[in-house]
Structure 1
Amino acid sequence: MKHFIATILGTALLATTAYSAPPETLESGRQAEGESPVDPEIPVALLVDQSAGQTLFSREPDRRFVPASVTKIMTVYTAFDLIDRGKLSLDRKVVIDKDLADEWGGEGSTLFLETGDELTIGQLLLGVTTVSANDGAVAVGRAAAGSDSGWLALMNENARKLGMRNSHFGSPNGYPDEGRTWTSARDLAILAEALTTRFPKLYKRFIGHKQLRFHEITQNNHDPITGVVPGADGIKTGYTRQAGYNFVGSAVRGGRRLTLVLAGAPTAPIRNRAARRLMEWGFDNFTSERLLPAGAAIGEVEVQDGSVLAVPVRTEAEVFANLPRSPGSRAGFSLRYTGPVEAPIKQGERIATLRVTVPGQEPHDVPLVAAEAVDPANAWQRLRNGVAGLF
């Protein structure tokens, strides 16, 4: 199979020359301010515009690190998925047994669960999302899957399905587990996007609460941006001595949802300041532009063993990009696919990508779909295709 790259002519806003993205090991996203928006003490940082699928800032996005309580995002995602599929009810009652209470009640961040406590799955999830309850996370997993191992299998299967290639979960809550849990900023951005887009109602119901009271104990959420940065609504902090201070956060303004990941900050104040600054930087220094409408014709893709030699492709949805707020900012397009693409091809099937490049940013890809169906070639068409292939 061959890899095809073709430069596409754009509008007046768009350049037609190819742009080489910076290597992923280097920091990108400095140009809007002229300096890094993230403190140099923080080794891992990522800011993504989910609406455009574009990375605005990155520092070591694929470096593996220990997530600490940020692990609970996957526990919450896994629970939301089961709830959405009707396999787990928010109203299901869970009675805390002695083993769970003895092992996890009062351990680290906690709901201080006691033997015989009766809570619903919804109450436990609220404890996980608001006060990072270690005991609550374990209780949800055991109730839903029957055991810690069963729950971890679901978490890791979800990571695989989402394409989180640098992640593995060895605990439901991120408590130190001798290195069995790790992830990357890019993977956490994928997870955050899935959480916000696939389960918007559950996300709004459970994420972003500032305080929770249980067992006559009032605890605060340590989220550094919700209620501080306009539009911020979560998601999760994390800390252990090994991991440092981590955070995954998200905010929406003007139809743009930005998601950030910070890992390994040496102190909570440094992490919190960086989270607020990076989120504001993303909103203030870029403007979201619609580059192409949905259904825009892009070009043609070669077809193998089909009734035609090539099929036109179009955009599946509107194509957006964040451009720096500076004169002359431009974006470029290139059509990419691995092919020829074998027939049959369904109309609307994703068969190629449009790579959007903005100077100073990592390129991002959007799907392209077949504009029409292609049937397998008949005997005469196979002969024609063979002759055409000779020339």
Structure 2
Amino acid sequence: MKYKAAIVLAAAALAWPGSAAIPADAPVADEIPIALLVDISSGQVLYEREADRRFVPASVTKVMTAYTAFKLVDEGALRLDMPFLYSEEMEDEWYAEGSNMFLRAGERPTIAQLLLGITTVSGNDASVAIAMASTGSLEEWLELMNANARELGMRNTHFGSPNGFPDGGQTYTTANDLALLGQAITQQYPGLYRRFFGHRRLRWRDITQVNHDPVTGRVDGADGMKTGFTNEAGFTFIGSAERDNRRLVMILAGSPTGEARDESARQLLEWGFDGFERQVLLPEGALVGSALVQDGARSQVGLRLPQEFTIALPVDREETDWQVDIVYRGPIEAPITAGDPVARLRLVIDGEAVLETPLEATEDVAKANSWQRIANAFARWF
């Protein structure tokens, strides 16, 4: 059974324009079918258009390739200074095949150099090289990519290649899934993200290429991530920027032109920062209520916020009422350990759920002994 309790807070009047969760005036070109802007500092969706619609990501796939490499590096299974011997077979298959680092047989790029080739110039060859260097086979690398996608909750995503090259529809994703990936790569590996994303150009041998990222260096705080294009996918982009401890992640997909994608990407990020202001609703550690406990030494357990509960509010807004609810499936079965995530705090505006954050138990609750079970049974009966 799902339980819900409203929390009454003082001064519970927030401002919000017409649609509570998603304002409709974001500057995204009408011809772009898929768009999403998320404030990952709070998890709040600022704008969405067909965010659960599957599409072919093209070279945006390489963000998962970079994430998979970052994870291996963090675990100690891969070294950034490790060289990899690029083979004739790989050169024959991938030299000048789409976007390229232009690797040649016999060269020994390091893992760090391959990562820069992936994140800066979208090297199809570098993506395959890092897969082979890490696992020895594309099949094992793809298993890692797809396992990582499942672990991140990317339920509508599958990878059939390490670089997004056309593969007969094996590779697909959604904007909501890519937002999870964008959050993970920026928050779990911030040092590696800063080191390898956001570079404007790359020189390999005597070849200098520029990054096609439309926001880095053009939007204040923008630092990546990845464009993509195939005839099947159209023009795609996942981008991110951070200002004043607010990080936004945006996705555009299916644009008919690169110009529409690039302009919409820049305008959407600016709109997300300039059109909203951050407000703390409840501080970190706030005690917000309690939840019922089943077969426990106590009949209830306290609930607190492990992190502050914030929301991004549109600057130009009208007054409206709001409500904060405690939501959980319960009663929650004992035993419970302090710090266990046992419920959620939900912000509802105009009857629409806008934002949720976890709530944790404030104390341990042991399993009830025989006398406590009898007392609990009488309490429930009365």
- In the superposition, the TM-score normalised over structure 2's length comes to 0.96
Q: Deviations over 1:317-342 (max 9, x none)?
A: 11110111125266431111111111
Deviations 1:29-79 (A, max 9, x none): 21xxxx342111000000000111100000011110000000000000000
Query: Aligned to 2:65, which of 38, 52, 75?
Result: 75
Counterparts of 2:104 and 2:369, CA distance in 1: 71
* Structure 1 residues 313 and 79: alpha-carbon distance in aligned structure 2, compared to 1, 3 A threshold: same
Contact 1:29 1:360 in 2 (8 A): no
3-state SS, counterpart of residue 376 of structure 1: coil
Structure 1 residue identity aligned to 2:23: G
Shift of 1:288: 0.4
CA distance in 2, matches of 1:186, 1:359: 23
Q: Deviations over 1:108-130 (max 9, x none)?
A: 00011111011100000000000
Alpha-carbon separation, structure 2, partners of 1:204 and 1:272: 22
**Secondary structure of the equivalent of 1:118?**
coil
Partner in structure 2 of residue 272 of structure 1: 262
Aligned to 1:191: 181
Q: Please say if 1:136 is aligned against 2:126.
A: yes
Question: Is residue 241 of structure 2 the alignment partner of residue 286 of structure 1?
Answer: no
Match of 1:353 among 336, 344, 348: 344
- Over 3 Å counting, the alpha-carbon distance change for 1:358 and 1:131 in structure 2 is farther
Distance 2:332 2:90 in 1: 54
**Which digits, 9 at most, give the CA deviation of each residue in 1:182-218, with x for residues without a partner?**
0000000000000000000000000000000113111
Distance of aligned partners of 1:274 and 1:360 in 2 relative to their CA distance in 1, 3 Å threshold? farther
Q: Show the 5 A alignment for 1:355-374.
A: 355-358=346-349, 363-374=354-365
d(CA) in 1 for partners of 2:76, 2:350: 45
Q: Measure, in 2, the Cα distance between the counterparts of 1:365 and 1:213.
A: 45
- Runs (4 or more) in structure 1 with deviation over 4 Å come to 19-22, 358-362
Contact 1:94–1:143 (CA under 8 A) maintained in structure 2: yes
- For the pair 1:168 / 2:158, whether they are aligned, the reply is yes
Residue type of the alignment partner of 2:9: G
Provide the secondary structure at the position in 1 that maps to 2:336: coil
Per the alignment, residue 8 of structure 2 pairs with 9
SS in 2 for 1:380: helix
Is 1:342 aligned to residue 333 of structure 2? yes
Residue aligned with 2:358, SS: strand
Distance in structure 2 (CA, Å) of the matches to 1:358 and 1:69: 38
Q: Does 1:214 align with 2:204?
A: yes
User: Mind listing any 5+ residue stretches in structure 1 that lack a counterpart?
Assistant: 23-27
CA drift of 1:157 comes to: 0.3
Higher mean displacement: 353-362 or 293-302: 353-362
C-alpha change, 1:20 and 1:58, in structure 2 (3 Å) is closer
1:321–1:53 distance in 2 versus 1, CA, 3 Å: same
Q: Matches of 2:13 and 2:290 in 1, distance apart?
A: 20
How is 1:4-153 mapped onto 2 (pairs within 5 angstroms)? 4-14=3-13, 28-30=22-24, 35-153=25-143
| 2:375 matched residue in structure 1 | 384
The TM-score normalised by the length of structure 1 is 0.94
Q: 1:249 to 1:359 in 2, by over 3 A?
A: farther
* In 1, Cα distance between equivalents of 2:208 and 2:30: 35
Query: What CA distance in whole angstroms lies between the structure 2 residues aligned with 1:88 and 1:116?
Result: 21
3-state secondary structure, aligned to 1:363 = strand
Amino acid at match of 1:170: G
Q: 2:304 aligns with which of 309, 314, 317?
A: 314
**Change in 2 beyond 3 A, CA 1:40/1:163:** same
User: How far apart are 1:358 and its partner, in Å?
Assistant: 4.4
Identity %: 52
- Structure 1 position 304 matched with structure 2 position 294: yes
In structure 2, relative to structure 1, the CA distance for the partners of 1:97 and 1:221 (3 Å cut) is same
Q: CA deviation at 1:10?
A: 2.1
Distance, in Å, in 2 between the alignment partners of 1:318 and 1:388 is: 35
Aligned residues: 378
SS at match of 1:6: strand
